[in-house]
Amino acid sequence: MAPETLVPDTVKFAQGFLPDIISTDLSVKSVYAPGKVFSLPFIMSKYIALGMEIPEIIRRVTTNPARALGEEKELGSLMEGTCADIAILRVVDKPVEFVDFAGDSIHGEKLFRTEMTIREGQTAFRLVYLFIASIRSAVYSSEASRKRLGSRPQRSRIRLR
């Protein structure tokens, strides 16, 4: 289809046409189109903006693709014995515009953010700065409490692994 004949996602959703599988559709054409396709969590966030419930989005990026590939016994599941490929995501409040190849845009207020990725049972990615920021926040709030209450801080040790 030529870009001028594409039907916007908002129209498809209004007509009840929902995807069975959600993917990035990263290709040579899309990878060089800044802002259109960034990552799977970014694309998942677009579906929140379109009104899809989070459990439905998760199903469309996990179990549905595994079933379509005939790999449901190994992929798309957290059952014992399957490969331990896990993405831990957080939904954060952040205004964003999603623009498709036809130039249509959808405004969203939430984004999926990857906190950790585990591949075959091993940590492949961890968003460490959030952990450090939460420790700093706890330290600052305990210092503020101490100043208000006039007490001395308790010494503790935190070990980062």
> Which residue carries 């559709």 as its tokens?
25
The pLDDT score that the predictor gives to residue 54 is: 95
Output the pLDDT for position 3.
Answer: 46
Tell me, yes or no, if the pTM score tops 0.85: no
DSSP state at residue 20: S
pLDDT (tens digit, 0 to 9) for every residue of the chain, 161 residues total? 444 455 667 777 778 888 899 988 777 766 666 656 678 999 999 999 999 999 999 999 999 999 999 998 888 888 888 887 889 999 999 999 988 777 788 899 999 999 998 888 888 888 875 555 555 565 555 555 445 445 444 444 444 44
Predicted pLDDT at 129: 59
Q: Is 58 exposed, middle or buried (0-12, 13-18, 19+ CB in 10 A)?
A: middle
The per-residue pLDDT for 74 is: 84
Nearest 10 degrees: Cα torsion 11, 13, 17, 23: 110
For domain 3-126, give the fold.
Urease, subunit C; domain 1 (2.30.40)
Q: Where in the chain is the domain with CATH 2.30.40?
A: 3-126
Of the candidates 28, 119, 50, 11, the one whose C-alpha atom is nearest the C-alpha of residue 37 is: 28
Tokens representing residue 79 in the block: 């059952």
What local confidence, expressed as pLDDT, does residue 155 receive? 44
b/e code 107-121 from CB counts within 10 Å (16+ = b): ebeebbbeebbeeee
Which of 112, 103, 125, 93 shows the shortest CA–CA distance to 38? 112
pLDDT of residue 33: 64
